Amino acid sequence: MPEQILQEAEASVLGHRMAYVTGGSGDPLVFLHGLGHASLAWNGVLPVLARHFRVFALDMFGCGDSDKPRIDYSLWAMATYVRYFLDAVGIERAHLVGHSLGGGVALHMCIQYPERVGRVALLSSGGLGRELRMLLRATTLPGSSLVLAGMLTSRWDRLWERLGWVRSREALYPEKRRMRALLARPDHRWAFLRMLRGVSNITGQTASAVQHLGMFAQPMLLIWGARDRTIPALHGQRAVRQLKRAHLEILPDCGHYPHLEQPAAVAKLLEQFLLAPEWPPARL
């Protein structure tokens, strides 16, 4: 099947500009990125899914090319903005794919607007437990914006590279450089910290959907990296036991970014999940 052409677009959501990438045809499929990232993070999987679906990869407010208004960035509010995005582009109901913070937003869509949600895929999702990488917890403390600003200069960037502290897998390196470049801008950094502090503090994650899991009727696929040090795979293992229609896939030799580290594997799993006539799959 030929690769689908994707294009950039914008929608007006509650008076603010929300950028997104779209393409393909079929049932709507909305991608929600993680903290500090944008729609570009999904480039490795979008062309595959656009063969079967009309894909929409959002730059959520405060991220990427979307506006950075001084608004509420709690998960409840961000789910509301996604719902208004659906209204703006004429989507009544959509499947959702969310990574990390975007997974938490997807879960809150299920809580707040279940009639607007089809199937849901969660990649290393937030909102399913307390544990969180210490660096992110520390970043919620007062004064962290000034510290971040100082540490994101090109001089510090070169030092981190020399010390080996920012080395990552080849697939992650461009995305992490882009993320650090955006965080050097005050408007991005303000929104980043509001989102982070809206879901966590020094003790770990504070926003949770765990108490609602038993009520979710949507078919769900959970994908986790076995080597995830940001949000442990244990969260997925616990959640799948409470969900009615869920299946968990743990990818070996993979960290917190399955769609960046193993895009072909993730795209295949998403295809199987979204196109399956029954879910969870029958176990032989």
Residue positions annotated with a catalytic role: 100, 228, 256
CA distances from residue 117 to 2, 30, 95, 106, 139 in whole angstroms, order as listed: 28, 10, 6, 9, 32
**Contact criterion met (CB below 8 Å) for 244 and 114:** no
**Contact criterion met (CB below 8 Å) for 235 and 204:** no
Determine the Cα–Cα distance for residues 80 and 45; give it in Å rounded to an integer.
Answer: 25
**What amino acid occupies position 7?**
Q
Of the candidates 278, 259, 261, 260, the residue with the CA atom closest to the CA atom of residue 270: 259
**Contact criterion met (CB below 8 Å) for 45 and 271:** no
CA distances from residue 14 to 80, 88, 104, 157, 215 in whole angstroms, order as listed: 10, 9, 21, 37, 30
